[in-house]
Amino acid sequence: MATDTPLDRFKNVLGGTARAIADEPEIELAFTADAPAQSGKHIKVPMPARTLPADQVAEARGFADGFALRLKHHDTGLHNRGAPAEAVARSVFDAVETARVEALGARGYAGIAANLATALDVKLRADPITRARNKDEVPLSTALGLIVRERLTGQESPGLAAPGLALVRDWIEEKAGADLDALGLTLDDQNAGTGRLLGAARVKPAPDEGVVVDDFATAPVQLTVRKASGK
């Protein structure tokens, strides 16, 4: 009978933690050398080296926690019904939802928050915002997702995104700051929550420069957290 390696044991712990966070016993977790991904209850996270370096362990935990929180707090049907059709607005809407889900799930859990921050650093390394030389090269979805994360968690955005974010922050704050401030998140003792996205999904590039708020959504978009089932 083969003896489990430290990597096998870490995978088992990671899967068990994901199932506990999501409150979903059927989650299956696997390692991958490709991009991390989630399909239904199947999660693939980056495979660390056999020696389990601390940074690679934190990276795997960050992606696993993020996917588990999405399974717990994200309602795909509700999200799709409220999503704008325009491509830029949709990418912003999706990024804001990710920030909301992760902010909600990490509240009161410093370990999860740290893991998510590590995964965010990994994502940003491949994001154009880290290489942007002017405002036109900054993805609005990334910029708005980071600003919403700041609003909901009080955490500063990662330093590697700071120069790119600075190129558009003032424009975003001028055009949509009040709407972003109105993206309030409240939790009750049953772990249910609601939030309103008034304007973030309506931000798009201006024809000349900066960004404008357009009427992609004709009414405030209601974001609703699925209530955890009692067990």
User: 63 and 20: one domain?
Assistant: yes
Residue 173: its pLDDT value, please? 84
User: 190 and 179: one domain?
Assistant: yes
Domain termination site, one of 37, 56, 72: 72
Q: Is 92 a domain residue?
A: yes
User: 65 and 83: one domain?
Assistant: no
User: 141 and 45: one domain?
Assistant: no
Given a contact cutoff of 8 angstroms between Cβ atoms, the answer to whether 43 and 13 are in contact is no
Q: Is 141 a domain residue?
A: yes
User: 49 and 80: one domain?
Assistant: no
User: 101 and 59: one domain?
Assistant: no
Q: Is 216 a domain residue?
A: yes
Which amino acid makes up residue 26?
E
d(CA 138, CA 175): 16
Q: Is the pLDDT of residue 34 over 60?
A: yes
Per residue in 179-207, pLDDT (tens digit) is 676 665 433 332 333 444 444 444 444 55
d(CA 39, CA 77): 15
Distances (CA, A) of 11 to 138, 147, 162, 198, 222: 36, 33, 33, 40, 36
User: 95 and 36: one domain?
Assistant: no
Q: Is 230 a domain residue?
A: no
Q: Is the pLDDT of residue 208 over 60?
A: no
Helices (H), the chain: 6-22, 54-73, 76-82, 87-106, 110-125, 140-153, 162-181
User: 46 and 85: one domain?
Assistant: no
Per residue in 36-82, pLDDT (tens digit) is 999 999 999 999 999 999 999 999 999 999 999 999 988 888 888 87
Looking at per-residue pLDDT, the higher value among 205 and 120 belongs to 120
User: 203 and 106: one domain?
Assistant: yes
Mean pLDDT to the nearest integer, 151-175: 91
Q: Is the pLDDT of residue 212 over 50?
A: no
Domain termination site, one of 19, 54, 72: 72
Six-digit token pair at 214?
Answer: 């357009």
Q: How confident is the model at residue 176 (pLDDT cuts 50, 70, 90)?
A: confident
User: 18 and 128: one domain?
Assistant: no
Main-chain dihedrals φ then ψ at residue 45, nearest 5 degrees: -125, 160
Q: How confident is the model at residue 226 (pLDDT cuts 50, 70, 90)?
A: very low
Q: Which residue has the tokens 């390696």?
A: 5
Domain termination site, one of 51, 72, 93: 72
Residue 120: its pLDDT value, please? 97
Q: Is 90 a domain residue?
A: yes
Q: Is the pLDDT of residue 4 over 50?
A: yes
Q: How confident is the model at residue 19 (pLDDT cuts 50, 70, 90)?
A: very high
User: 29 and 127: one domain?
Assistant: no
Q: Is 229 a domain residue?
A: no
Residue ranges making up the domain that contains 30: 6-72
User: 12 and 92: one domain?
Assistant: no
